[in-house]
Amino acid sequence: MKILVPVKRVIDANIRVRVKADKTGVETTNVKMAMNPFCEIAVEEALRLKEKGDAEEVIIFSAGPEKSLETIRAGLAMGADRGVHINTDATLEPLAIAKMIRAIAEKEGADLVILGKQSIDDDNNQTGQMLAAVMQRPLGSYISKIEKNEAGFAITREIDAGLEMLQIASPAVVTTDLRLNEPRYASLPNIMKAKRKPVEVSTPEELGVEVSNRIEVIQVNEPPAREAGIMVADASELVEKLKNEAKVI
């Protein structure tokens, strides 16, 4: 079994995001970037499936500018076998990304595509669903457990009412939730080995994927500042404020 893991380069989760002065987007110049945390979980789960003997190869995929290679190398340093980079400076929307992943998955003959349920920059939570649709494959979303079996994959997914256990056929697409695993840290020897692992570079045009955008960003603004809290003397004063000022009771 081959596993394809798409990953995304985003602003590091520990960095405070700043809006550009012209309000056209967020500032990324000289800002620390990292692999999207949900993508890290996807890479970790692919590696665990390989270590259990359920997969022979784990391939890391990323689309974006040349610096996206750093994100691919991070996945290779965790233990993946090789990478595929779609080099483009265009702003990529979920549908275009899904079509690129489909092209690579079909070319590689990937039996399973594991990707994070969303990225922490735009929080769209769309790519996995779109990918399953364009590939006409079964989808397991928000999974907190996955096991390979003869019929395909047994998955546990998180829903509002609790946990839902399903059986999906192979080949399939799954998206990872936070509680699936704890990603490993890449060791220094593996970081050095990752520099020698092969990464195939292509373009959207070579894949036959159009990347024209259908969404126009009008303006990006900082969220409103939170107002300071109010100290109350006792419970009766709290009830009075909730009733007369907040009008929640």
pLDDT at 137: 96
For residues 86 and 202, the answer to whether their CB atoms sit within 8 Å is: yes
Whether residue 237 is contained in a domain is answered as yes
Whether residue 62 is contained in a domain is answered as yes
**Phi and psi (nearest 5°) for 2?**
-100, 140
Residue whose C-alpha is closest to residue 36's, from 159, 118, 106 = 118
The range of the structural domain enclosing residue 73 comes to 2-244
pLDDT at 85: 97
Distances (CA, A) of 16 to 68, 124, 218, 221, 229: 21, 20, 22, 14, 22
Q: Is the dihedral of CA 28, 8, 38, 182 positive or negative?
A: negative
For residues 28 and 11, the answer to whether their CB atoms sit within 8 Å is: yes
What's the CA gap between 2 and 46, in Å, rounded? 9
Q: Is 221 left (phi over 0), alpha (psi -120 to 50) or beta?
A: beta
Whether residue 170 is contained in a domain is answered as yes
List the CATH number of the domain containing 43. 3.40.50.620
Alpha helix locations (H) across 52-166? Answer: 68-78, 94-108, 127-135
Whether residue 249 is contained in a domain is answered as no
- Residue 1: pLDDT band (50, 70, 90) is very high
The helix/strand/coil state of 104 is: helix
For residues 157 and 144, the answer to whether their CB atoms sit within 8 Å is: yes
Structural domains counted in the chain: 1
Mean pLDDT for 79-89 is: 96
Mean pLDDT for 164-187 is: 94
31-78 confidence digits (pLDDT tens):
899 999 999 999 999 999 999 999 999 999 999 999 999 999 999 999
Whether residue 109 is contained in a domain is answered as yes
Q: Answer with the residue of higher pLDDT: 109 or 217.
A: 109
194-206 confidence digits (pLDDT tens):
999 999 999 999 9
Whether residue 69 is contained in a domain is answered as yes
Alpha helix locations (H) across 86-225? Answer: 94-108, 127-135, 188-194, 204-207
Mean pLDDT for 209-214 is: 86
